[in-house]
Amino acid sequence: MIKFSRYILVAIGILVASIVLPSLYWTIFEKVPRSPNLFYSCIKDDFIVVDGSIRKSPAGKEYTSDEYEQALPFMFYRQLMADGTMPDTIKGVKMETPSIARASSFYRYTPKRTDAPVPTLWPMLESQSGKVNLAMPEDYFRIEKRMEFIVAKTNEINEEKSMLFTDALTSEGFVFPANIIAGLPTTRKSVDEGYFITDAAGSLFHVKMVKGEPYVVRIETPEKLDIVYIEAVDLRSREYYCYVFTGNQGIFVVMDEVYDLQRLPVDGFNPSIHTFRLSADLFNKCITILGENWYEAIAVDEMYQVVGTHGEKWEGLYERPEGKMLASLFPFETRMKDENSAYVRFYFKPSPGIRWMIVNLTALIVAVVLIMRRGWPLKSNIPDLLITAVTGIYGLIATQFFPNKFSKVKPPDKK
């Protein structure tokens, strides 16, 4: 029991050391990671890579500030108009501010979105109130055994409304409870489109409230989709309602009104580790998938046909000097937070390679020397030595902080 209590303390010592020491290390040595932005120029019919203050073509040609702005007329049309350099037409299309603004959108997905605690109560706005401004409702809904509306002021369920919506869902074949609920719970949007919801069977539904009545559409998917995340968007172009991210079947958008699922031409996207960016203009959409040390950019036209691709890879964390150094010092590190998740967990990150073995071996030798200097028999300290051999500096610190006093001490030699 007492020995066991010591090993618990040693284990906690190792845990704390594996959090604190690498975090100290990173505070000193961390460098800003590369995170380029990609745009597709309808003027040059090519990508533009923006890396900090450097803008260049995929071929490596650097652009000046003016060249850059002129290459992206939709992004900088206000500036170009002020300068008088905005072309009247591009690709035969007359340039007008409203159409440019309507077509422009930007969206970004990070893995944190999927792996995050989500609200379980949502406001159902009235989609066709007849008023110009949207208004927040007095109640919030949840979809558990049924769909329930709870009035905030009284903290009581509105039975009538709950029944109405539950029946509407049931008649469309909704299997309770809901899995993902995605919407824009805000009044600061152009129109309300309610919620996109997956049920317990994984089917996708569109649910909104029109003049107090439920509006439920079951959205047919081309195949059974493993949907992990949905994000509703409020596009001024009203092109699509939302993005649908699947585990490994790709990314879809749900087209407005017709509910067709349009698959984006992106392969190998993993929503739990990759970042997704999409910037749209009048002619093209530029999609960028970012990994830790690479990106893949795909440009599509208005018919979602691929017009260009470009990719780049650079040194990964553990290939750079600061990462190599860390991987040599410590066999692993532990973090409570991770850039790919909003949850707190014990994120255990083993160091790649075996260079840390040198430090572990040194730690082991130090441990042996310390034990022998105290006149403790090595035999009863084998567990400590094993711990030190495996966990390196962490184990050495932990076993010294919580010393092993269970081995019989022999008196020092008389000098």
Partner 1 sequence: MLKSLLYKEWIKIRLVVWIALGLSLVALINIFLKVRHDILFVDASNYWYSFLFRGVTYFSILKFLPFIVGLAVAIAQYFPETVNKRIKLTFHLPVSENGVLIWMHSFGAGILLAVFLTVLVLFNAGSAIFFPANIIRASLLTMMPWFLGGMATYFLVALILLEPMWLFRGLYAAVAAGFVTIFYTGASIGAFEPVLAPIAVITLLLSFVVLFTGYRFRKGEM
Partner 2 sequence: MYAIECKNLTHYYGRKLVYENLSFNVEEGKILGLLGKNGTGKSTTINILNGFLQPNSGECLIYGENTQLLTPETKSRIGFLIEGHVQYSFMNIHQIEKFYSGFYPNWNSAPYWELMSKLKVTPKQKISTMSCGQRSQVALGLILAQDPDLLILDDFSMGLDPGYRRLFIDYMREYAKAEHKTVFVTSHIIQDMERLIDDVMIMDYNKILAQQPVDQFMASFRQFNITLSSPAEEIDMDGIAVNIDKVKDKIEFYTYSTADEVKGYLNSKGITFTSFEEKKMSLEDAFIGLTRKY
Whose Cβ is closer to partner 1: residue 2's or residue 258's?
2
Site for partner 1 in 131-150 (CB under 8 A): 136-140, 142, 150
Is residue 386 within the footprint of partner 1 (CB under 8 A)?
Answer: no
d(CA 86, CA 97): 11
Among 22, 123, 331, 395, binds partner 1 (CB under 8 A): 123
Is residue 9 within the footprint of partner 1 (CB under 8 A)?
Answer: yes
Residue 69 Cα distances to 52, 59, 159, 204, angstroms: 15, 18, 57, 41
Whose Cβ is closer to partner 1: residue 317's or residue 342's?
342
Q: Angle at CA 285, nearest 5°, toward 284 and 291?
A: 145
Stretch in the footprint of partner 2 (CB under 8 A) among 63-71, 152-160, 192-200, 406-414: 406-414
Query: Tokens representing 134?
Result: 């949207």
**Which residues are within 8 A (CB) of 412 and not within 5 positions of it... i.e. 6 or more apart?**
375
d(CA 381, CA 384): 5
The torsion defined by the Cα of 214, 220, 226 and 230, in degrees rounded to 10, comes to -50
Is residue 409 within the footprint of partner 2 (CB under 8 A)?
Answer: yes
Q: Identify the bridge partners of residue 229 per DSSP, sorted by sequence position.
A: 245
Is residue 349 within the footprint of partner 1 (CB under 8 A)?
Answer: no
Is residue 108 within the footprint of partner 2 (CB under 8 A)?
Answer: no
3-state secondary structure of 242: strand
Is residue 402 within the footprint of partner 1 (CB under 8 A)?
Answer: yes
Stretch in the footprint of partner 2 (CB under 8 A) among 6-14, 25-33, 48-56, 407-415: 407-415
Is residue 406 within the footprint of partner 2 (CB under 8 A)?
Answer: no
Q: Identify the bridge partners of residue 149 per DSSP, sorted by sequence position.
A: 141
Residues that bind partner 1 (CB under 8 A): 1-2, 5-6, 8-9, 12-13, 15-17, 19-20, 116-117, 119-123, 136-140, 142, 150, 152-153, 155, 185-186, 336-337, 342-346, 398, 401-403, 405
Residues that bind partner 2 (CB under 8 A): 409-412, 414
